[in-house]
Structure 1
Amino acid sequence: MSGTFTQLQIHIVFSVKGRQMLINESIEEKLYKFISGVIKNNGHKLLQINGMPDHVHILISISPNQSISELVKYIKQGSSHMINSSRLIRDKFSWQSGYAAFSCSKSHSSKVINYIKNQKIHHQKKSFLQEYKTFLDENNVIYDTRFI
């Protein structure tokens, strides 16, 4: 076989440092556009992005030419720099270290897209920490509660 053919969808979740509620409506659109640009400029395709004031969900179709950890590093570094240099918030903005990433089959992508679109509805009933633990448990990820 002479070519590389992939269809890899990844659901990525990460939070603001200290889970501070810093992503307000006034910066949300700029932040999401910036993250979308980082994803595109690194050769991936954004399928959906949304979040809450303390965290972000991203579903992407990822190229096999870059690791997930490298992409997330570029997203976090670039977006933190953009928010701070543009002075979009009063305090210094930074993301919490680490992230979660889950594979998503093409057949389930519409369900994940709808989940991400409806973040504000989901979080009327469930906190970010509850949601995060649910994702980890459903995906059989072993974790230490001290580090989430």
Structure 2
Amino acid sequence: MCKYHIVFTKYRRKVIYNQYKSSLGEIFHRLCDYKGVDIIEGHLMPDHVHMLVSIPPRISVSSFMGYLKGKSALMMFDKHANLNYK
């Protein structure tokens, strides 16, 4: 397994707080478990995310990030409909 420190924005505005923070944490854990990726450490900041992850060699970092950001956005929009409006 290869370890990566990944930093990425979420919605490009400061929305990661209160109920969204716990929802995002649960969603990230669920999606990573499904792909066999271990979250070693993670921090949700108001406008971005830091994650130290262990990704299996069969999965590229770029494809994993596309999957994680795409699926987590859809799951957040399903759970919190008001995020659709910027």
Task: Give the TM-score, by structure 1 length.
Answer: 0.53
Runs (5+) with no aligned partner, structure 1:
1-6, 94-148
User: Which residue matches 1:61?
Assistant: 54
Aligned partner of 1:83: which letter? M
- Give the number of equivalent residue pairs: 85
Q: Which has the higher contact order (CA 8 A, sep 6+)?
A: 2
Aligned partner of 2:22: which letter? E
| Residues 63-114 of structure 1 deviation map (CA, whole Å, 9 limit, x = unaligned) | 00100111111111111001111126x2327xxxxxxxxxxxxxxxxxxxxx
* In 2: Cα distance, 1:81 partner to 1:49 partner: 20
User: Which residue matches 1:86?
Assistant: 79
Name the SS for the 2:84 alignment partner: coil
User: Which residue matches 2:66?
Assistant: 73
* In 2: Cα distance, 1:92 partner to 1:74 partner: 19
Which aligned runs of 4 or more in structure 1 are off by greater than 3 angstroms?
none
Gap change, CA 1:61 and 1:91, over 3 Å in 2:
closer
Gap change, CA 1:62 and 1:78, over 3 Å in 2:
same
Matched, 1:14 2:8: yes
Q: Flag the structure with higher strand content.
A: 2
Match of 2:34 among 35, 41, 51: 41
Supply the RMSD in Å over aligned alpha carbons.
Answer: 1.6
Name the SS for the 1:10 alignment partner: strand
